[in-house]
Protein backbone atom coordinates (compact mmCIF):
# COMPACT_ATOMS: atom_id res chain seq x y z
CA UNK A 1 0.00 0.00 0.00
CA UNK A 2 1.38 3.40 -1.00
CA UNK A 3 2.22 5.86 1.72
CA UNK A 4 0.51 9.25 1.82
CA UNK A 5 1.30 12.58 3.44
CA UNK A 6 -2.17 12.63 5.02
CA UNK A 7 -1.39 9.65 7.24
CA UNK A 8 1.91 11.31 8.13
CA UNK A 9 0.15 14.26 9.75
CA UNK A 10 -0.59 16.60 6.83
CA UNK A 11 -3.40 18.92 7.93
CA UNK A 12 -5.15 22.19 7.09
CA UNK A 13 -2.79 24.01 9.46
CA UNK A 14 0.26 22.71 7.59
CA UNK A 15 -1.44 23.47 4.26
CA UNK A 16 -1.86 27.11 5.34
CA UNK A 17 1.78 27.31 6.45
CA UNK A 18 2.89 25.89 3.12
CA UNK A 19 0.83 28.28 0.96
CA UNK A 20 3.70 30.72 0.14
CA UNK A 21 5.87 27.81 -1.06
CA UNK A 22 3.06 26.42 -3.21
CA UNK A 23 2.97 29.71 -5.09
CA UNK A 24 6.68 29.24 -5.79
CA UNK A 25 5.94 25.91 -7.48
CA UNK A 26 7.20 23.65 -4.69
CA UNK A 27 5.44 20.64 -3.21
CA UNK A 28 5.16 19.69 0.48
CA UNK A 29 6.81 16.71 2.09
CA UNK A 30 7.79 15.35 5.48
CA UNK A 31 11.19 13.92 6.32
CA UNK A 32 10.63 10.32 7.41
CA UNK A 33 14.26 9.15 7.37
CA UNK A 34 17.10 11.46 8.36
CA UNK A 35 20.64 10.49 7.41
CA UNK A 36 23.90 12.37 6.96
CA UNK A 37 23.97 12.84 3.21
CA UNK A 38 20.31 12.66 2.24
CA UNK A 39 16.76 12.40 3.57
CA UNK A 40 13.83 10.26 2.56
CA UNK A 41 10.77 12.48 2.24
CA UNK A 42 7.13 11.40 1.92
CA UNK A 43 5.30 13.55 -0.64
CA UNK A 44 2.12 13.39 -2.67
CA UNK A 45 4.36 12.03 -5.45
CA UNK A 46 5.67 9.20 -3.28
CA UNK A 47 8.84 8.74 -1.22
CA UNK A 48 11.72 10.74 -2.68
CA UNK A 49 15.45 10.87 -2.01
CA UNK A 50 15.96 14.53 -1.08
CA UNK A 51 19.05 16.66 -0.65
CA UNK A 52 19.39 20.24 0.52
CA UNK A 53 19.66 23.12 -1.93
CA UNK A 54 22.97 24.98 -1.90
CA UNK A 55 21.43 27.94 -0.10
CA UNK A 56 19.75 25.80 2.54
CA UNK A 57 22.94 23.79 3.06
CA UNK A 58 24.81 27.03 3.72
CA UNK A 59 22.14 28.27 6.14
CA UNK A 60 22.12 24.91 7.91
CA UNK A 61 25.72 25.41 9.03
CA UNK A 62 24.44 27.96 11.55
CA UNK A 63 20.82 27.02 12.10
CA UNK A 64 21.06 23.23 11.94
CA UNK A 65 19.97 20.75 9.29
CA UNK A 66 16.37 19.69 8.70
CA UNK A 67 15.39 16.85 10.99
CA UNK A 68 13.15 13.81 10.95
CA UNK A 69 9.60 15.06 11.35
CA UNK A 70 10.18 18.38 9.58
CA UNK A 71 7.74 19.51 6.89
CA UNK A 72 9.66 20.90 3.93
CA UNK A 73 9.17 22.56 0.56
CA UNK A 74 10.68 20.66 -2.36
CA UNK A 75 11.41 20.89 -6.04
CA UNK A 76 10.65 17.30 -7.04
CA UNK A 77 11.67 15.02 -9.88
CA UNK A 78 9.27 12.09 -9.31
CA UNK A 79 10.41 10.21 -12.39
CA UNK A 80 13.94 10.10 -10.96
CA UNK A 81 12.78 9.58 -7.37
CA UNK A 82 14.71 12.66 -6.23
CA UNK A 83 13.99 16.11 -4.86
CA UNK A 84 15.72 19.23 -3.60
CA UNK A 85 14.71 20.74 -0.25
CA UNK A 86 14.42 24.52 -0.52
CA UNK A 87 12.77 25.44 2.80
CA UNK A 88 11.74 24.06 6.17
CA UNK A 89 8.31 25.01 7.50
CA UNK A 90 8.24 26.57 11.00
CA UNK A 91 8.29 23.81 13.62
CA UNK A 92 5.43 23.44 16.09
CA UNK A 93 7.64 21.57 18.54
CA UNK A 94 11.24 20.40 18.55
CA UNK A 95 13.45 18.23 20.69
CA UNK A 96 16.85 19.90 20.67
CA UNK A 97 20.28 19.17 22.10
CA UNK A 98 23.57 21.00 21.86
CA UNK A 99 26.13 19.45 19.55
CA UNK A 100 28.78 17.50 21.44
CA UNK A 101 31.61 19.49 19.85
CA UNK A 102 30.09 22.95 19.90
CA UNK A 103 28.69 25.49 22.32
CA UNK A 104 26.67 27.36 19.72
CA UNK A 105 25.57 24.60 17.34
CA UNK A 106 22.21 23.02 18.13
CA UNK A 107 20.92 19.68 16.86
CA UNK A 108 17.23 19.04 16.33
CA UNK A 109 16.64 15.40 17.21
CA UNK A 110 12.95 15.35 16.34
CA UNK A 111 10.60 17.97 14.89
CA UNK A 112 6.84 18.46 15.04
CA UNK A 113 6.32 15.80 17.67
CA UNK A 114 3.21 15.50 19.82
CA UNK A 115 4.31 13.04 22.47
CA UNK A 116 7.72 12.37 24.02
CA UNK A 117 8.04 8.88 25.48
CA UNK A 118 10.79 9.17 28.09
CA UNK A 119 11.96 5.57 28.20
CA UNK A 120 13.89 3.93 31.02
CA UNK A 121 14.07 0.33 32.11
CA UNK A 122 13.09 -1.20 35.41
CA UNK A 123 16.37 -3.09 35.63
CA UNK A 124 19.68 -1.74 36.94
CA UNK A 125 19.59 1.17 34.47
CA UNK A 126 16.78 2.97 36.35
CA UNK A 127 18.24 6.28 37.51
CA UNK A 128 15.85 8.97 38.87
CA UNK A 129 18.42 11.75 38.36
CA UNK A 130 18.91 10.88 34.69
CA UNK A 131 15.14 10.63 34.27
CA UNK A 132 14.69 14.15 35.67
CA UNK A 133 17.12 15.45 33.06
CA UNK A 134 15.27 13.72 30.21
CA UNK A 135 11.94 15.01 31.53
CA UNK A 136 13.19 18.60 31.66
CA UNK A 137 14.27 18.36 28.03
CA UNK A 138 10.99 16.68 27.08
CA UNK A 139 8.84 19.38 28.67
CA UNK A 140 10.98 22.05 27.00
CA UNK A 141 10.28 20.53 23.57
CA UNK A 142 6.64 21.60 23.72
CA UNK A 143 5.33 18.03 23.36
CA UNK A 144 3.52 15.92 25.97
CA UNK A 145 5.92 13.78 28.04
CA UNK A 146 4.99 10.23 29.05
CA UNK A 147 7.34 8.15 31.22
CA UNK A 148 7.69 4.59 29.91
CA UNK A 149 9.15 1.98 32.24
CA UNK A 150 10.28 -1.00 30.17
CA UNK A 151 11.35 -4.57 31.00
CA UNK A 152 8.68 -4.98 33.68
CA UNK A 153 9.09 -8.75 33.38
CA UNK A 154 12.64 -8.41 34.75
CA UNK A 155 11.74 -6.27 37.75
CA UNK A 156 10.54 -7.05 41.24
CA UNK A 157 7.58 -4.97 42.40
CA UNK A 158 7.33 -2.83 39.24
CA UNK A 159 4.22 -1.05 40.54
CA UNK A 160 6.12 0.18 43.60
CA UNK A 161 8.98 1.46 41.44
CA UNK A 162 6.45 3.18 39.16
CA UNK A 163 4.91 4.94 42.15
CA UNK A 164 8.35 6.27 43.09
CA UNK A 165 8.91 7.56 39.57
CA UNK A 166 5.44 9.12 39.41
CA UNK A 167 6.30 11.18 42.49
CA UNK A 168 9.00 13.02 40.53
CA UNK A 169 7.43 12.94 37.07
CA UNK A 170 5.78 16.39 37.34
CA UNK A 171 2.29 14.99 36.82
CA UNK A 172 2.94 13.31 33.47
CA UNK A 173 1.62 9.76 32.91
CA UNK A 174 3.75 6.76 33.85
CA UNK A 175 3.23 3.54 31.88
CA UNK A 176 4.73 0.15 32.77
CA UNK A 177 5.42 -2.04 29.75
CA UNK A 178 6.98 -5.37 28.87
CA UNK A 179 7.75 -6.02 25.23
CA UNK A 180 8.15 -9.70 26.04
CA UNK A 181 4.73 -10.20 27.67
CA UNK A 182 2.82 -7.38 25.99
CA UNK A 183 1.99 -5.70 29.29
CA UNK A 184 1.04 -2.03 28.95
CA UNK A 185 1.36 -1.78 25.17
CA UNK A 186 -2.29 -0.84 24.60
CA UNK A 187 -2.08 1.80 27.32
CA UNK A 188 1.04 3.18 25.68
CA UNK A 189 -0.53 3.43 22.21
CA UNK A 190 -3.54 5.20 23.70
CA UNK A 191 -1.35 8.26 24.23
CA UNK A 192 -0.80 8.68 20.46
CA UNK A 193 -3.84 9.72 18.43
CA UNK A 194 -4.09 9.12 14.66
CA UNK A 195 -1.97 11.69 12.83
CA UNK A 196 0.17 12.36 15.90
CA UNK A 197 3.88 11.66 16.16
CA UNK A 198 5.68 10.33 19.18
CA UNK A 199 9.40 10.12 19.82
CA UNK A 200 11.29 7.82 22.16
CA UNK A 201 14.21 9.24 24.13
CA UNK A 202 16.37 7.54 26.70
CA UNK A 203 19.74 5.94 27.29
CA UNK A 204 21.07 3.12 25.16
CA UNK A 205 19.88 -0.31 26.21
CA UNK A 206 16.58 0.68 27.82
CA UNK A 207 14.62 -1.12 25.11
CA UNK A 208 13.54 1.60 22.68
CA UNK A 209 14.18 -0.40 19.50
CA UNK A 210 12.67 -3.54 21.01
CA UNK A 211 9.60 -1.52 21.95
CA UNK A 212 9.29 -0.19 18.39
CA UNK A 213 9.54 -3.72 16.99
CA UNK A 214 6.87 -4.97 19.38
CA UNK A 215 4.48 -2.13 18.59
CA UNK A 216 4.92 -2.71 14.87
CA UNK A 217 4.81 -6.50 15.11
CA UNK A 218 7.96 -6.83 13.02
CA UNK A 219 11.74 -6.61 13.35
CA UNK A 220 11.97 -3.11 11.89
CA UNK A 221 14.78 -1.89 14.17
CA UNK A 222 17.99 -3.82 14.88
CA UNK A 223 18.49 -4.77 18.51
CA UNK A 224 21.16 -6.37 20.66
CA UNK A 225 21.03 -8.02 24.06
CA UNK A 226 21.97 -6.08 27.16
CA UNK A 227 25.34 -6.68 28.78
CA UNK A 228 25.09 -8.89 31.83
CA UNK A 229 27.67 -6.95 33.86
CA UNK A 230 25.89 -3.59 33.99
CA UNK A 231 22.43 -4.19 32.44
CA UNK A 232 23.19 -1.67 29.68
CA UNK A 233 22.66 -2.23 26.00
CA UNK A 234 24.71 -1.70 22.92
CA UNK A 235 23.30 1.05 20.76
CA UNK A 236 22.06 -0.26 17.43
CA UNK A 237 19.89 2.40 15.73
CA UNK A 238 21.99 4.36 13.20
CA UNK A 239 19.49 6.87 11.84
CA UNK A 240 16.27 8.66 12.73
CA UNK A 241 13.15 7.28 11.12
CA UNK A 242 9.40 7.83 11.31
CA UNK A 243 7.35 4.63 11.15
CA UNK A 244 3.57 4.34 10.91
CA UNK A 245 1.90 2.57 13.81
CA UNK A 246 -0.94 0.10 13.28
CA UNK A 247 -4.24 1.94 13.66
CA UNK A 248 -2.80 5.42 13.13
CA UNK A 249 -0.12 7.59 14.62
CA UNK A 250 3.61 7.52 14.05
CA UNK A 251 6.70 6.69 16.05
CA UNK A 252 10.11 8.25 15.51
CA UNK A 253 13.03 6.09 16.55
CA UNK A 254 16.27 7.92 17.31
CA UNK A 255 19.80 6.87 18.14
CA UNK A 256 20.30 6.37 21.88
CA UNK A 257 21.13 9.50 23.82
CA UNK A 258 23.53 8.85 26.67
CA UNK A 259 23.60 12.45 27.86
CA UNK A 260 21.13 15.25 27.23
CA UNK A 261 22.68 18.71 27.19
CA UNK A 262 19.88 21.02 28.25
CA UNK A 263 19.33 23.92 25.85
CA UNK A 264 17.55 26.99 27.23
CA UNK A 265 15.46 24.57 29.29
CA UNK A 266 14.61 26.77 32.25
CA UNK A 267 10.88 26.17 31.82
CA UNK A 268 11.42 22.42 31.58
CA UNK A 269 13.48 22.37 34.78
CA UNK A 270 10.88 24.47 36.60
CA UNK A 271 8.15 22.05 35.52
CA UNK A 272 10.04 18.95 36.63
CA UNK A 273 11.07 20.54 39.93
CA UNK A 274 7.82 22.38 40.64
CA UNK A 275 7.95 21.31 44.31
CA UNK A 276 11.44 22.74 44.76
CA UNK A 277 10.47 25.98 43.03
CA UNK A 278 7.45 26.31 45.35
CA UNK A 279 9.72 25.93 48.38
CA UNK A 280 12.13 28.54 47.03
CA UNK A 281 9.28 30.99 46.54
CA UNK A 282 8.23 30.44 50.18
CA UNK A 283 11.60 31.62 51.52
CA UNK A 284 11.55 34.80 53.62
CA UNK A 285 13.91 36.61 51.25
CA UNK A 286 13.39 36.69 47.50
CA UNK A 287 17.16 36.47 46.90
CA UNK A 288 17.66 33.61 49.34
CA UNK A 289 20.76 31.56 48.58
CA UNK A 290 19.36 28.55 50.49
CA UNK A 291 22.42 28.25 52.70
CA UNK A 292 22.27 29.95 56.12
CA UNK A 293 19.63 32.62 55.55
CA UNK A 294 16.86 32.88 58.17
CA UNK A 295 13.43 31.75 57.05
CA UNK A 296 14.76 29.55 54.24
CA UNK A 297 11.96 27.15 53.31
CA UNK A 298 14.34 24.96 51.30
CA UNK A 299 16.71 24.40 54.23
CA UNK A 300 13.73 23.76 56.47
CA UNK A 301 12.38 21.11 54.09
CA UNK A 302 15.80 19.46 53.86
CA UNK A 303 16.15 19.35 57.65
CA UNK A 304 12.65 17.96 58.15
CA UNK A 305 13.07 15.34 55.43
CA UNK A 306 10.28 16.80 53.28
CA UNK A 307 12.79 17.44 50.48
CA UNK A 308 15.10 14.67 49.31
CA UNK A 309 18.73 15.93 49.44
CA UNK A 310 19.50 14.06 46.22
CA UNK A 311 16.61 15.78 44.44
CA UNK A 312 17.78 19.17 45.74
CA UNK A 313 21.33 18.42 44.55
CA UNK A 314 20.00 17.39 41.13
CA UNK A 315 18.02 20.63 40.86
CA UNK A 316 21.06 22.73 41.75
CA UNK A 317 23.20 20.78 39.28
CA UNK A 318 20.80 21.37 36.39
CA UNK A 319 20.46 25.07 37.28
CA UNK A 320 24.24 25.43 37.40
CA UNK A 321 24.49 23.65 34.04
CA UNK A 322 21.96 25.99 32.46
CA UNK A 323 23.76 29.04 33.86
CA UNK A 324 27.14 27.79 32.62
CA UNK A 325 25.72 27.01 29.17
CA UNK A 326 24.17 30.48 28.96
CA UNK A 327 27.51 32.08 29.91
CA UNK A 328 29.38 30.04 27.31
CA UNK A 329 26.78 30.93 24.70
CA UNK A 330 27.19 34.62 25.50
CA UNK A 331 30.98 34.40 25.26
CA UNK A 332 30.73 32.49 21.97
CA UNK A 333 28.36 35.12 20.59
CA UNK A 334 30.71 37.91 21.66
CA UNK A 335 33.66 36.15 20.02
CA UNK A 336 31.63 35.65 16.82
CA UNK A 337 30.76 39.37 16.83
CA UNK A 338 34.44 40.26 17.33
CA UNK A 339 35.51 38.05 14.41
CA UNK A 340 32.74 39.44 12.22
CA UNK A 341 33.76 43.03 13.04
CA UNK A 342 37.42 42.23 12.30
CA UNK A 343 36.49 40.75 8.92
CA UNK A 344 34.41 43.81 8.08
CA UNK A 345 37.30 46.06 9.08
CA UNK A 346 39.73 44.12 6.88
CA UNK A 347 37.29 44.29 3.95
CA UNK A 348 36.94 48.02 4.47
CA UNK A 349 40.73 48.53 4.50
CA UNK A 350 41.17 46.44 1.34
CA UNK A 351 38.44 48.39 -0.44
CA UNK A 352 39.98 51.69 0.62
CA UNK A 353 43.40 50.55 -0.61
CA UNK A 354 41.97 49.60 -3.99
CA UNK A 355 40.25 52.96 -4.29
CA UNK A 356 43.45 54.80 -3.48
CA UNK A 357 45.31 52.72 -6.04
CA UNK A 358 42.71 53.67 -8.63
CA UNK A 359 43.11 57.37 -7.85
CA UNK A 360 46.88 57.31 -8.34
Domain parsing of the chain, residue ranges: 6-88, 94-253
Whole-number average pLDDT of the chain: 80
Do the beta carbons of residue 283 and residue 298 sit within 8 Å? Answer: yes
pLDDT of residue 341: 60
Structurally, at CATH architecture level, domain 94-253 sits in 3-Layer(aba) Sandwich (3.40)
Q: What is the mean pLDDT of residues 51-55?
A: 91
* Its pTM surpasses 0.85: no
Do the beta carbons of residue 109 and residue 134 sit within 8 Å? Answer: no
pLDDT of residue 243: 87
Do the beta carbons of residue 279 and residue 270 sit within 8 Å? Answer: no
Pairwise CA distance, residues 42 & 116, whole Å:
22
Q: Is 96 left (phi over 0), alpha (psi -120 to 50) or beta?
A: beta
Of the candidate ranges 39-48, 59-68, 226-235, 284-293, the one whose mean pLDDT is the lowest: 226-235
First-to-last CA distance in the chain? 75
**CATH number for domain 6-88, candidates 2.40.50.140, 1.10.1270.20, 3.40.1280.10, 3.30.70.260:** 2.40.50.140
* Per-residue pLDDT tens over the stretch 82-138: 999 999 999 999 887 766 555 556 678 889 999 999 888 887 667 788 888 888 888
Please enumerate in sequence order all residues whose Cβ is within 8 A of that of 260, keeping only pairs 6 or more positions apart, or say none.
Answer: 97, 133, 134, 137, 201
Q: Is the pLDDT of residue 37 over 50?
A: yes
Amino acid sequence: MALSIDEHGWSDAWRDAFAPHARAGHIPGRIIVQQREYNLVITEAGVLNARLSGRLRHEAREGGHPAAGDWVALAAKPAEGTATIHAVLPRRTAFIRRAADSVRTLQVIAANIDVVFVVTSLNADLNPRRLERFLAAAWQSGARPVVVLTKADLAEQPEARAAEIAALAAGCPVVIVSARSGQGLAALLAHVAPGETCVLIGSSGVGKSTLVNTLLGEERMATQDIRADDAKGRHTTSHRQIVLLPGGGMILDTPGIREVGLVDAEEGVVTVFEDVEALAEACRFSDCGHTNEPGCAVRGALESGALDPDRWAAFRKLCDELAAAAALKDRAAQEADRIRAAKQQRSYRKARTRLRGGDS
